[in-house]
Amino acid sequence: MKNPIVILAVLGAFILCSQAAHAQYNGESRLAVGGYGEVAFSRNFYSDHVYRYSSASLHSGEAHNRFDIPHAVIYLGYDFGKGWTMQTEIEFEHLGTGTEVEKEFEEAGEWESEVERGGEVELEQFWLQKSFFPALNVRAGHLVVPVGGLNNRHEPLNFFTVYRPEGEFTILPSTWHDTGISVWGQVGRWRYELMLVSGLDAMMFTRDNFIKNGAHTPFPFQVANNPGLAVRIDKAFGFGLDLGLSAYFGNTFDNTFPYEASKASYIADATGTLGVAAFDFRYCGKNLIIRGNADSGMLSDAAAISKYKSSKGAASGSPYSDTPVGDRALAAGIEAGYDIFSFIPIKDREQKLYVFARGEHYNPYIADSGQGTYGYTEKTRVAAGINWFPIPEIAVKAEYSYRFLSGEYNPEPSVNLGIAYMGFFKH
CATH number assigned to the domain comprising residue 420: 2.40.160.10
Cβ–Cβ contacts within 10 Å for residue 52, how many? 18
Chain-centroid distance of CA 367 in Å reads 24
Each residue's pLDDT tens digit, 249-258: 999 998 988 8
Reported as a pLDDT band with limits 50, 70 and 90, residue 206 is very high
Closest CA to 215 of 142, 114, 312, 317: 142
Closest CA to 376 of 1, 19, 12, 59: 59
Mean predicted confidence (pLDDT) in 276-283: 98
Q: Within 13 Å of residue 253, how many CA atoms lie on the same side as its CB?
A: 22
Cβ–Cβ contacts within 10 Å for residue 225, how many? 15
- Whether 102 maps to a domain, the answer reads no
Beta bridge partners of 98: 117
- Whether 333 maps to a domain, the answer reads yes
- Whether 34 maps to a domain, the answer reads yes
Reported as a pLDDT band with limits 50, 70 and 90, residue 7 is very low
Query: Model-level pTM?
Result: 0.88
Report d(CA 96, CA 101) in Å as an integer. 17
- Whether 6 maps to a domain, the answer reads no
Start-to-end C-alpha separation, the chain = 27
Report d(CA 269, CA 349) in Å as an integer. 63
Mean predicted confidence (pLDDT) in 202-223: 90
Residue 9 has pLDDT above 60, yes or no: no
- Whether 83 maps to a domain, the answer reads yes
Which distant-in-sequence residues (6+ apart) come within 8 Å of 146 by Cβ?
Answer: 152, 176, 193, 230, 232, 246
Q: What is the pLDDT of residue 104?
A: 54
Domain residue limits at 159: 29-95+114-426
Coil, strand or helix: which one is 152? Answer: helix
Q: What is the pLDDT of residue 122?
A: 86
Return left, alpha or beta for 164; rule: phi > 0 is left, psi -120 to 50 is alpha, else beta.
beta
Q: What is the pLDDT of residue 13?
A: 47
Q: Could you tell me the sign of the dihedral formed by the alpha carbons of 331, 171, 211, 149, in that order?
A: positive
- Whether 108 maps to a domain, the answer reads no
- Whether 13 maps to a domain, the answer reads no
Compute the mean pLDDT over every residue in the chain, rounded to the nearest whole number.
88
Domain count, the chain: 1
Read off the DSSP letter of residue 157.
G
Residue type, 20: A
Q: What is the pLDDT of residue 108?
A: 52
State the DSSP string of 191-246. EEEEEEE----GGG-BTTTBTGGGG--SSSS---SS-EEEEEEEEE-TTSEEEEEE
Cα torsion through 418, 423, 426, 427, rounded to 10: 170
- Whether 22 maps to a domain, the answer reads no
Quick check: 63 and 44 in contact, CB under 8 A? Answer: yes
Residue 155 has pLDDT above 90, yes or no: yes
**Which is more confidently placed, 323 or 211?**
211
Mean predicted confidence (pLDDT) in 85-96: 90
Report d(CA 422, CA 198) in Å as an integer. 30
